């Protein structure tokens, strides 16, 4: 029986031509399959990374002992683990999980003694009926908190006049106030600013808290106090801190989004930015916040006008215009490089075998162990520079060789490829911290300074106006600098706000900067107990 199948008129009858067509289609399909496989693997990485960020720990700590035996740092890992786990005669010492130790209550807190006595009937010996005598005391302490105490300060100004001519009336002057013609004292204003900016408390919640203790103050009034204090009262201190920062020779900078509802020419949903810079020696740091609606390179150019020295930042291109000049030297951030390798490890999944991302992360962790040694020993910049030359330089050379070996053979679109690409593109900036012992290995101090702002932003969500955003920037600058210099925010603000209205000279303003005041000076005197202060 003849076949009913007829050759397609579109296909040639030559076998060689048909074979060539099949081969070309096979190559094309294999290429398409490889592209889809790459896309699938990339999406899988993204899903695993998102799940890790959503449900996994946020820590970037990595144990290099997870690497398989035979990798480049096996000997160092084994030596490190041997030091961390002392052995006994029967093997490694077992790890014991101790109970949490309750810290003692601060001795400077006031104490109220409550004596617990036995009744007269109970102070009799049950054996022979003798009266019991005191042989000791058992003491335990509990922490008690009294809600905020509110008081009214009544200013009484005595008037004097001449009894004969009834002229020449004189009235005792009122001391300069933080906010003239306002009922807010320095203590009240410090409480509002600390609650909003240090504790991240939205003003509507603060309004409710004050209402529960019988003080009715609308949130609009609280907002007005904050804006007036931030835009006018503390501005001289901010100006002096900016002058010191620009003269420091080393600045770390980062930025974070903020939303402003009423900004001329912009939609309420438009994204603005809070720029944060940190500088100063470790003992006297300065942290500055600056609001700007833009994230363009013109902002760091404005903020750093006249600055000469090192500028440390992440890989954002907005800083390139500043660092392109001969006066400013760019320093990279190894925390960003480490974070990308950490994300590559997490995106590979827990069941994945250790690979290139694990190796890169382990090498970067070695650099951080050098930094930890310098920190634990409280080294000077000169000592830290010498330590880095001895230990960090060889590690970086190994990292450079490893990078050049793995970069060409890693897919650029994957998480590991992106981590390698960032490390390669930022290499010259990343290793620049070796030049000066003052420089940090990363920009984490600035990111840590931003964290209280981010936490507060989750509560109050946005600033109503540009003046409010600028006031917030100034208050955050003062509070975060005070905290970095060892001050308790409320006590520092109260101390400063009481004295700031009377300042007339630059020296008087200088004396109120956080780094010029001992933290013990801003603390209130201890309460009197039993006639003893």
What's residue 8's pLDDT?
A: 58
Q: Are both 323 and 203 inside the same structural domain?
A: yes
Q: Are both 196 and 315 inside the same structural domain?
A: yes
Q: Are both 200 and 318 inside the same structural domain?
A: yes
What's residue 25's pLDDT?
A: 78
* Range among 68-72, 149-153, 442-446 with highest mean pLDDT value: 442-446
Q: Note the pLDDT tens digit of each residue in 100-128.
A: 677 888 888 888 899 999 998 888 988 88
Q: Note the pLDDT tens digit of each residue in 280-337.
A: 888 899 999 999 999 999 999 999 999 999 999 998 999 999 999 889 999 999 999 9
Among the three residues 391, 415, 442, which one is the final residue of a domain in this structure?
Answer: 442
Domain presence at residue 426: yes
Q: Are both 496 and 431 inside the same structural domain?
A: no
Number of domains in the chain: 2
pLDDT confidence bin for 239, thresholds 50/70/90 = very high
Among the three residues 413, 442, 471, which one is the final residue of a domain in this structure?
Answer: 442
Domain presence at residue 238: yes
What's the token pair of residue 436?
């000066």
What's the token pair of residue 282?
């470790």
Domain presence at residue 170: no
**Cα(38)–Cα(417) distance, rounded to whole angstroms?**
13
The values of phi and psi at residue 291, to 5°, are -90, 140
List the domain range (segments joined by +) for residue 345: 333-442
pLDDT (average), residues 132-150: 86
Q: Please choose, from the candidates 461, 444, 496, 505, the residue with its C-alpha nearest in 3D space to the C-alpha of residue 475.
A: 496
Lowest mean per-residue pLDDT among 12-21, 318-327, 374-383: 12-21
C-alpha dihedral, 89 to 94 to 99 to 104, nearest 10°: 50
Q: Are both 201 and 317 inside the same structural domain?
A: yes
Please report, for residues 123, 205, 364, 473, the alpha-carbon distance to residue 59 in angstroms, rounded to integers and kept in the order given: 58, 32, 15, 29
**Cα(302)–Cα(45) distance, rounded to whole angstroms?**
40
Domain presence at residue 401: yes
Q: Note the pLDDT tens digit of each residue in 170-187.
A: 899 899 999 998 999 999
Q: Are both 363 and 408 inside the same structural domain?
A: yes
Q: Are both 207 and 312 inside the same structural domain?
A: yes
pLDDT (average), residues 253-259: 94
Domain presence at residue 160: no
pLDDT (average), residues 248-258: 95
Integer-rounded Cα Rg, in Å, for the chain is 33
What's residue 177's pLDDT?
A: 92
Q: What is the mean pLDDT of the chain?
A: 85
Domain presence at residue 279: yes
C-alpha dihedral, 336 to 340 to 341 to 342, nearest 10°: 90
Domain presence at residue 101: no
Q: Are both 326 and 338 inside the same structural domain?
A: no
More confident residue, 42 or 14: 14
In order, the DSSP letters of 400-411 are HHHHHHHSTTS-
More confident residue, 52 or 322: 322
Domain presence at residue 223: yes
pLDDT (average), residues 137-152: 85
Q: Are both 421 and 503 inside the same structural domain?
A: no
pLDDT (average), residues 32-57: 68
Among the three residues 379, 413, 442, which one is the final residue of a domain in this structure?
Answer: 442
pTM for the complete prediction? 0.79
Q: Are both 213 and 275 inside the same structural domain?
A: yes
Q: Are both 350 and 499 inside the same structural domain?
A: no
Q: Are both 341 and 320 inside the same structural domain?
A: no
292, 260 contact by CB (below 8 A): no
Q: Has residue 3 got a pLDDT over 60? A: no
């Amino acid at each position: 029986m003849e076949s009913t199948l007829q050759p397609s008129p579109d296909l040639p009858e030559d076998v060689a031509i048909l074979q060539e067509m099949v081969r070309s289609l096979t190559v094309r399909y294999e290429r398409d399959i490889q592209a889809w496989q790459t896309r699938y693997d990339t999406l899988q990485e993204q899903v695993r990374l998102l799940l890790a960020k959503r449900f996994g720990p946020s820590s970037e700590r990595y144990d290099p002992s997870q690497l398989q035996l035979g990798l480049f740092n096996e000997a160092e890992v084994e030596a490190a683990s041997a030091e961390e786990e002392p052995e006994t005669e029967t093997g490694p010492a077992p790890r014991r999980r101790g109970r949490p130790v309750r810290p003692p209550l601060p001795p400077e807190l006031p104490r109220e003694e409550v004596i617990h006595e036995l009744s007269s009937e109970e102070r009799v010996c049950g054996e022979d009926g003798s009266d019991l005598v005191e042989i000791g005391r058992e003491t335990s302490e509990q922490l008690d908190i009294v809600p905020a105490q509110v008081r009214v300060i009544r200013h009484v100004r005595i008037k004097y006049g001449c009894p004969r001519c009834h002229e020449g009336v004189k009235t005792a002057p009122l001391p300069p106030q933080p906010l003239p013609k306002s009922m807010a004292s320095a203590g009240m204003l410090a409480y509002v600013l600390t609650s909003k900016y240090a504790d991240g408390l939205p003003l509507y919640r603060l309004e409710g808290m004050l209402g529960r203790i019988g003080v009715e103050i609308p949130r609009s009034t609280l907002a007005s106090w904050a804006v007036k204090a931030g835009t006018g009262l503390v501005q001289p201190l901010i100006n002096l801190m900016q002058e010191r920062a620009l003269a420091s020779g080393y600045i770390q900078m980062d930025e974070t989004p903020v939303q402003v509802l009423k900004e001329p020419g912009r939609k309420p949903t438009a994204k603005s930015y809070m720029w944060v810079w940190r500088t100063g020696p470790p003992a006297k740091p300065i942290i500055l916040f600056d609001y700007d609606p833009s994230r363009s390179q013109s902002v760091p150019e404005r903020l750093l006008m006249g600055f000469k020295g090192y500028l440390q930042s992440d890989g954002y291109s907005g800083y390139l215009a500043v660092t392109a000049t001969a006066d400013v030297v760019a320093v990279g951030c190894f925390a960003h490089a480490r974070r990308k390798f950490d994300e590559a490890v997490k995106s590979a999944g827990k069941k994945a075998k250790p690979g290139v991302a694990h190796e890169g992360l382990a090498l970067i962790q070695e650099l951080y162990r050098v930094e930890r040694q310098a920190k634990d020993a409280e080294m000077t910049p000169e000592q830290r520079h010498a330590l880095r030359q001895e230990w960090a330089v060889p590690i970086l050379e190994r990292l450079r060789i490893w990078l050049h070996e793995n970069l060409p053979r890693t897919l650029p679109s994957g998480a590991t490829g992106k981590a390698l690409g960032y490390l390669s593109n930022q290499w010259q900036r990343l290793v620049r911290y070796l030049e000066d012992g003052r420089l940090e290995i990363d920009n984490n101090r600035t990111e840590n300074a931003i964290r209280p702002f981010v936490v507060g932003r989750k509560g109050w969500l946005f600033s109503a106006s540009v003046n409010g955003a600028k006031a917030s920037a100034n208050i955050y600058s003062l509070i975060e600098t005070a905290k970095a210099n060892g001050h308790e925010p409320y006590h520092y603000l109260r101390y400063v706000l009481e004295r700031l209205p009377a300042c007339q000279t630059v020296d008087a303003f200088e004396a109120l900067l956080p780094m010029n005041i001992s933290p013990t000076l801003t603390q209130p005197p201890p309460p009197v107990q039993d006639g003893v202060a």
